[in-house]
Each structure stands twice: as C-alpha cells, then as structure tokens.
A and B are shown apart, each in its own frame.
Chain A
C-alpha cells in the first residue's frame, strides 16, 4: 500500500466504522458494532504508527486529495482543496488521537454496557475520531475549519447523548453556541487570510507571510497590522475550542456527556485542537508580538483562575474538568511564549494523564453506581485497587512530580514563560507558578476525598443531610441515578474498563522522560514548527539550560514549583484528611470568596442575562415592533386600510342621484373654464 493510501486510510477507517455503526448498528447488534468500530480505529492507529516511522525517516507529505471548489475569479483562479499535510506535528497528533480513541473505544464497552444507545455511541465516537483526524491532517484552512466544526458537531451530539436530561441538552446547546462565537472569529481570520494571500493553502500562506507587511483599517483611521488581526481572530477560534477565558464556560457543563467522551473529547483531543492550531500556525504567530502577548495573557488567566474553581467542586468529573481548563491555559501560555513545541509536548502528556484521570473517574462512577459527588465517596482504595493506583499515577503526573510525564512538560512551560520578554510575561509567570500549588491542592483534595478517609457511601440521603454535608445550592449533588444501597460496597470494574487505565498509565508516567529531548530540543519538530529565534530566543535558552531528562528532574527538587506542588499536596492532606474543620472555617470566614467561586465568577449568570436574555429580548422587540407593528401594521395593512378608506370616500361620492352628478359636472366646467382663462 502506498503511503498516500495509508494517509487516506487513517481518517477513512473510523469514518467507515461510524457509518456502519450508525446505519446498521441495530442489525449488527452490540457485539459486532463494537468489534467493527474498535477494529477500524485500531487499523487507524496502526497506520498512524507506520506513518510515524515514515515521517521519522524524513518523509513529509503535502498534497491534495481532491478539489473541493474552484473559483473562476476574474483576476486568477483559486482552488480550495481537501488535502493532507503529514509532518512530525501532524503525525504526533494522529498517534495521540488514534491511541486515546482506541482506549476509549475499548473502555466504552464496559462503561456503556447497559445503555440503550450503545451502537449510536460507538458511531459518534468513531465519527469524532474521523473529524479530529481531518482537522489535524489538513493542509489548508478550509479543511481545518471543516474538522474544527465537525468535532464541534460530534461534541454537541455526545454532550447531549442522554437527550432526555434537561441539563445535558442545555449543556450541548451552550457548548455549540459558545464554540460558534469562537468560530465566528476563526472564520473571519480565514477570510482575511484569503483576502491577503489569495490562497488557503498552509505552506503558500506561511511562505508569503514572512515578507508580508500590511495594515488594514477595520475602522477608518485606525490601522491594525494585518497579521496581528489574522492571528488574534484565529486565536479567538482557539479560545472557543480550547475553552480559554472568557469562552471557557461551556467545558464544565460538557461533563453532562458520558465519561468516555469527557476523556476523549473534552480532555485529550478536541479541546487541544486550539493549541494544535496555534502551533501549526507558528509561522504566522511568530510575526506578531501583540498576538503572542494576547495569547499568553489569556492563557495565564485561564490557567490560574480556572484552577481556583477546581478547588470547590464536588462533582468528581467537574474537578477534573476545571483541571483540564487550567492545563489548557498552561499550554496556551506556552504558545504565547513562542514555546510551541513545549505546548504541544504538554498537549501530548496531558492527553495521556487527563484521559487516564477521566476514565479512572468514570471507573469510580461505575463502581459507585453512578454517584458522582465526592462527598459521598471516601476510602475507595480498598475496593477499587487498580482504579486507585492508576488514578494516583495520573494525579502525580498532573501535579508535575519529577520524572513523571507531566513534570517535564509543565516545568518546561514554567521555565519558558520565565524567559519570555513579551508584554504580560511576568503576569503569566506568576500565574503558572501559583497554578502549580493550586493544581496540586485540588488534585489531591480529590484524591484524598475519593480514595482515602471515611467511607461515606452507602448511606441514605437523610444521613448525609444530618451530617450537614449536603449543599442544597449545588444542583449537581442530586442525581437521578441510583447510587449504592446502604451497606453495599463499591466494586472494581470489568477488565475492559481497567485495561485502558493501565494502558494509559504507562505513558502518563514515562513518556515525558523519553520524549522531552527529541521533542523540545531535538529536531523532531523541525519544519513543522517555526520559531524566529532572533526575536523569541526562549527555546534556545531552554536548550542551553537542558542537560538531560535525569538532570532536569534532579535539579527541579531545588526549585520553587516542586515545593509548591509538595505544599499543595500537604495542604490538601491537612485540610481533608487531618483537620476537615479548616476548610469549613475558611468557607465561613471568607464566604464572599466562596460565593464568587461557587458561582464561577458569575460568568454563567452574566451570559444568561446579557447574551441569551438580551438576544431574546431584542428578538421579541424586533419581531413585535419591527415586523408586526411597523411593517405589517403600519405599512402593509395600513396602506390596505388607507386604500379602503379612500375608496370609501369615493364610494360616497357615487350617490346615484342625477342632480349630484349634474352639480359636479357644472362645478367641473366652471373650474376648467377658470383654469383656462388663467393659463
């Protein structure tokens, strides 16, 4: 099989699986549906591995698959194509996507075993895999946008998978619309690219961008550097997809979807599309310091402030979701510091350990019979050994424990930001450093509350209330699911569930150690990621400081981030294991802070009131006043009435009496005669 066919096979295999599962799932039955889709994703993964080796051997591919549309322009022909760009960045993403997707497919057999939408679910996740692959393999902006929106569609379908739940269908609509706000900017960015460069092909655009100097005036008199405008508009798209402040609001709600997709879509792959996109566009972003600063500041805000929210969540999935938001912020900060490869490196390690954490959380949820509130857990390590150990591995990787994968990527981000000299870098540096403590704190708060301490499950609701732990304001505390019966114990899950956990734990622990050198300081990303080292020397400086993965880990033991992480873990241990009165005390003492965090900084309220409510009111006003009153009432029916009245008058004149007519005639004759004599 030629390489070109292999490239095609990678996205088409899962697409085929999705179609088969979607159209014939009910005929095939459950077992055959999952066999076929899993086999096809496995084929896709295997093909990705082969392509990876090929790319390692130096074979980069950039070519068209078919012509999508041409424009017979007067000034010249423009061709929009569907095509692939296969280089190291692409192939790394392909590996991550297909591997995590494969794990999630397998895991789904266990997680969705009792669901009546089993085949539909497999169809969706295979369709997602296809869409995501089209996104990362694109060689042009049009196809990028296709993949971009297609993953949004599948995300919409999967968040609302249980479409009888009001919260789920609220969340999926919200996710789609917030993403559309980002896509709005993204599309305009693509439009500017087409306007300026006359093509949507990556390589042509990148080549032309280097020598491009231009301004454009969105408002007469105000000039913006075109490339800055393009980069910021594109990044607005990334803010939607990768849930960056202030378009982050959809991601926590997306947890309404089944857990496997939280792992696949809302942690490991789709939400990192924005990060991937900016890294892919590095030749453009490198040309605009303003855009990079913007990126960095947005990322820093997300990294720190979303982390805070993770501290007070009580839903196991939501803690992990806020952690995802915060980690996406870290990646974005790295992008802003021109450390694209570091961002992508963190993207990869994060994909493994965050998918692991989500799937482990899902395993806990199964073991707990669909209870998600961590206040009703505790002491689970005894009952769910594999889940416990893998969850711990994921958590340790997340907080940046030396030698584990998360350490290498996160520490590199912190160092890179520290070396950046762009506007906003100082703020970003403090944000990511403080973020280390926050991450460690909420991660181990979660870990201790779930796996250690008192066993709080299997109690009736009344008991829980008596303990005063039931927070009436938290609408997510009450679930319609059954939960454990009194006295019942959680149980370890089936092998199809824990096998993916183990398979993901291995790279979560080890992959950083082995790949940091080639990915960050070697030539792995040469050609795929472009950095202007004269202006942005961060990577070069990082490289000077790097003396091997082992040394990096050892050296870190003397640095601030390490001790902040240790501090975070110890604080969590103190607060939730030793002296639970402390958090209660803080909650009372600083209730306004708690209220602020509990309401997620009031973003949802504001959006509901201002945007959703505002749009509804504007709509009602325009419709009732503009269409109904003004146009129909005044103009249409008004003119009809006017004609009616006018004809009414005319009708009155036509009395039928001869003398009226005679009189009118005489008057008329006189008028005519008068006029004639005057003229």
Chain B
C-alpha cells in the first residue's frame, strides 16, 4: 500500500466493477455505451497499476503493497495480497492488454457486446488476483474463477467447433487444478492450519511429500503453460476463440502456469524441484524442438501461432529449472515478451480474419500489396517471434540459452535450434500470407488497417522494440526477487 491506498485491491476489483457496470447496460441496443464504459474501465484499470511500477522497491525481495484482512477466520483463510519482483510485471502486462482487446473487439463484436466486454474486464481483475494472492485459498479461488470468463468467451463468441474446444479447455485445466487443491489442503494440515503461501515457503517437508506436492502442482501448472504432452487443448482453444480470447489466452493466461512454478513448486518443494528438474527440462526441450517442428506444417495461422506459443513457453520452463539467474530472469522476460508478441500476432490474424473470414494460410497471398502498413507491423512481430535481436523476443531466449549452456551444452544446443525452427515456421507463414502476387478476390479487396487498428499495433510495436533495445527496466524489477529465490531453492528443506 502506498499513501494508504489499497492499490492491489483496486487493480483487482476496479475492472470487475466496471465489468458488472458494463453488464448492466444490458442488451445490444446500448452497445455504444457498453463499449465506451468498457474502454474507460480498461484504461482506468491499467492506469491504477502504474503506481505499482513507480512505487516498487527494487531493493527487496519481500512482498510489497501488502493487504491483509480476515476472510474466513474459521479456516484461517485471509484476504492477503502482495507482490514481489516476480509478480509485479504480470499485473502490469495483464492490465495493459485489457484496453487492447476491448479496442480490438470494438467493431467486430456485434452481438452481446456488453457481455463480451464484461467478460474481458472481469477476466482482467481475476488474473490480477491470481498474481497478487498470497493466500493459497484466495489464489485457488481466483485461479478457478479465471476459467469461467474464458470458457464463456470461447463457448459463446467462438468459432464453429467452439463447444468441443471450450469443454476440452475446461476439463484439461480443471483436472490439473483439483490436484493443486489437494496439495493446498495437505500443506494446510502440515503447517498446522495456515493458508499463507509464504508460510509454505518456509515449511520443512520430507522428500516423499515434496515429490507428491511437486507432482500435484506440476499437473496444475503444466496444463496451463502448457507443457508437452498436455498442450493439445491450446491449439483447439485458440482456433475456436474469438480474437480477444486468443490474445488474452496467449498473452496472459499461459503465464499463470509458469508463474505457479516460481511461486509454489520451486520454493515449497525445492528438493523435489531439483530432483525432478530433468523431467521439466526434458519436456521443455521437447516443447522447443518437437512443437517447433509441428508448427512448421500448420495450415491454420492461429494453430501455427498457438504451437509457436507452446514452443516459446518451453523456453520459460527450461529457464526456470536450470536454477540460475540467466534462466529464471530469461524465462520471466520471455513470458513478458511472449505476451506482447503472441498478443500482437493473434491481433494481426484477427485483423485478417475480420476481413476475409479465413485463418487458412492458403486463402491468402500478397496481402502486403493491399495492406502495406499492416504488413510492416506484422513482419516486425514475426521477426520478434523469430527472436530477432533488437526485439523483445530476443532477450528472453538469449538469456535462457546463456543460462542453459552453463548447465549443459546440449540443453543450449537443443534450445538454440529455435533460431532455425522459429524463423522457419514464422517467416514461411509470412511469405505465404504477405508476399507473392495477390492470389484471390478476397485479398484483392482488402483495405489497410484503420486508425484504431494502427493505434493498437503501434503501441505493441513500441513495447516490442522498447523491450528489445532496453530490457533493463524490466529486468531490474525482478533482480532481487530472483536472486533470493535462487538462494532459497538452493537450501535443502530436508
């Protein structure tokens, strides 16, 4: 809290409040009002998170902006919020994206506008809750609540096969989180009645129990990341989700899984983390190489970017479980960058889908002739997706590779293969979609992006280039927390 103002609560509840307000505008006759209210809420929601950055104390790894109230005293459950260098940037990232998806859905969403906008606002608040919660039960509630708006977004505004995708998404992620709940209850018992996450960090746990806890968390987080082999829900979900849904899914929701590894798995079960690191590293490298290859032959642009997301998230989990500063900070930077880049790519695909109503690469060709400005933006984001230095996509990959090589040369070698695969699938798609002669009538009638769309992409382009050329402000925020995390994980609990 600064100036006695509960910033985190505001970051969580303000968007939710606006979401309810937007819902109250009712049916589509009031759509313009719903849009404006939603935008106001989203922008305000972002503005209120800025003091979190400005007022953040980089010199400590302790939790900041703490709020602590009783919630369910009987079970010792508290409304306990706080952030450190690991979570702060994700709250900003999440709140930053909400106005963008509201703007992206401005024209395209014509039915149930209020509900659509409200879903994103509520989603935004809930996700902030996930990153800010310091009480396990509070975390769990936010974690599960997050599913509902996304389930609705896919299920209501999605494509033809949306029900299959929504159910697959729901079941996949629910299954994992049930195990996490069991882990929490076990930890509650072991800690003699505490749901405070930080208490769990300090709790001494035997090896077998650590392994069980680690596996339970792993099931929950691996699905969300998603890690190979529990990744197949993601391409389906993306394909069916409306553009905004894909953006939030890729840019924000995938991050909560990776965040969970740092907040729960590693500090609570450090010995098990070391013991089972090879599993995570293996799965991560499979994600980088196998998924990178799979992405190559995708004919659906959204599927391609979805697979590319899985591959990029492989870098994140790889970075975390090599237990050095390069890896963990690289992984975190990769998460932020992936937010910008995958968000931008999905928005770009949305722009084309809005006009041509196809996501098939084969239905395009020569788009750059008709949409030069858009093509310039898209190529920039594609380059960032290929990890070009000077863009944000490079920073995290570079750091993780630098960290991996210190542990094992082959980890680095396999990870670095993304230099080739990542460029291959991304640029091959760019070639087939944007370059070449105009292939069909639909493309011939394309018009370049509007001012509203330009604004969205320009903002993201600034982020991608800014972070690529000067990542220090991002990294500085996390230094102390990551350093202390590494020290903490280095101490055995046995």
Contact = CB atoms under 8 A, between A and B. Distances in A.
B152 interface: no
A74 B487 contact: yes
13 contacts: A66-B470, A68-B471, A69-B399, A69-B475, A72-B325, A142-B398, A149-B394, A163-B436, A177-B424, A188-B401, A622-B293, A627-B294, A636-B172
Contacts of B324: 73-74
A622 B486 contact: no
Contacts of B81: none
Given A164-B436, A184-B416, A187-B416, A72 B472 contact: no
B427 A173 contact: yes
Interface stretch (A38-46, A189-197, A304-312): A189-197
Nearest to A23: B376
Nearest to B401: A191
A618 B435 CA distance: 26
A181 B402 CA distance: 18
Contact of A216 (B389, B390, B399, B409): B409
Given A70-B476, A150-B389, A164 B366 contact: yes
Interface in B423-437: 423-424, 427-428, 431, 434-437
Contact of B232 (A166, A177, A631): A631
A459 interface: no
A635 B232 CA distance: 10
B294 A626 contact: yes
Interface of A: 66-74, 142, 145-146, 148-150, 153, 156-157, 160, 163-164, 166, 169-170, 173, 176-177, 180-181, 183-184, 187-188, 190-192, 194-195, 216, 218, 615-616, 618-620, 622-623, 626-627, 631-632, 635-636
B27 interface: no
A69 B293 contact: no
B168 interface: yes
Nearest to A67: B472
Interface stretch (B3-11, B98-106, B183-191, B477-485): B477-485
Contact of B419 (A66, A170, A180, A627): A180
Contact of B389 (A149, A170, A192, A627): A149
B423 A176 contact: yes
A175 to B, nearest CB: 11
- B contact residues, range: 35 or more
Given A71-B399, A169-B436, A622-B293, 7 more contacts: A70-B475, A71-B325, A145-B398, A191-B401, A195-B405, A623-B298, A632-B232
B251 interface: no
A70 B436 contact: no
Contacts of A148: 389
B472 A615 contact: no
Contact of B420 (A73, A184, A626, A635): A184
A593 to B, nearest CB: 33
B424 A615 contact: yes
Chain A contact residues: helix, strand, loop or mixed = helix
Contacts of B398: 142, 145, 187
B406 interface: yes
Given A188-B405, A631-B232, A69 B471 contact: yes
B240 to A, nearest CB: 15
Would you list the 6 A-B pairs with minimal beta carbon distance, nearest first?
A72-B479, A191-B405, A619-B297, A146-B389, A619-B296, A163-B435
Contacts of B483: 72-74
Nearest to B233: A636
Contacts of A72: 325, 329, 479-480, 482-483
A495 B26 CA distance: 70
A169 B421 CA distance: 18
Chain B contact residues: helix, strand, loop or mixed = helix
B423 A180 contact: yes
B294 A623 contact: yes
A618 B293 contact: yes
Contacts of A623: 294, 297-298
Given A68-B472, A176-B427, A192-B405, A184 B417 contact: yes
B368 interface: yes
Interface in B295-313: 295-298
A66 B470 CA distance: 9
A176 B487 CA distance: 41
B229 interface: yes
B419 A183 contact: yes
A240 B168 CA distance: 44
B326 interface: yes
Nearest to B471: A69
Interface string B423-459: 1100110010011110000000000000000000000
B244 to A, nearest CB: 26
B170 interface: no
B472 A616 contact: no
Contacts of A166: 436-437
Contacts of A626: 290, 294
A184 B419 contact: yes
A187 B435 contact: no
Given A72-B480, A618-B293, A163 B434 contact: yes
Contact of B296 (A142, A145, A616, A636): A616
Given A67-B472, A73-B324, A169 B431 contact: yes
A173 B325 contact: no
Contacts of A184: 416-417, 419-420
B414 to A, nearest CB: 11
A142 B490 CA distance: 29
B274 interface: no
Contacts of A622: 290, 293-294
Contacts of A176: 423, 427
Contacts of A170: 431
A70 B472 contact: yes
B467 to A, nearest CB: 11
B359 interface: no
Q: Which of A71, A164, A169, A622 has the most CB of B within 10 A?
A: A71
B470 A68 contact: yes
B472 A191 contact: no
Interface in B136-186: 168, 172
Contacts of A163: 368, 434-436
Contacts of B435: 160, 163-164, 169
A73 B436 contact: no
B219 to A, nearest CB: 14
B3 to A, nearest CB: 29
B436 A188 contact: no
Contacts of B379: 157
Contact of A71 (B329, B404, B434, B437): B329
B413 interface: yes
A636 B232 contact: yes
B288 interface: no
B112 interface: no
A177 to B, nearest CB: 6
Contacts of A153: 383, 388
Interface string B378-413: 010001000011100011001101101110011011
A156 B295 CA distance: 22
Given A619-B296, A622-B293, A74 B406 contact: no
A633 to B, nearest CB: 10
Contacts of B427: 156, 173, 176-177
B124 to A, nearest CB: 29
A72 B368 CA distance: 43
Contact of A180 (B401, B410, B420, B480): B420
Q: Which of A74, A164, A619 has the most CB of B within 10 A?
A: A619
A69 B405 contact: no
A619 B294 contact: yes
Nearest to A200: B402
Contacts of A71: 325-326, 329, 399, 475
Contacts of A68: 470-472
A278 B448 CA distance: 45
Interface in B270-326: 290, 293-298, 324-326
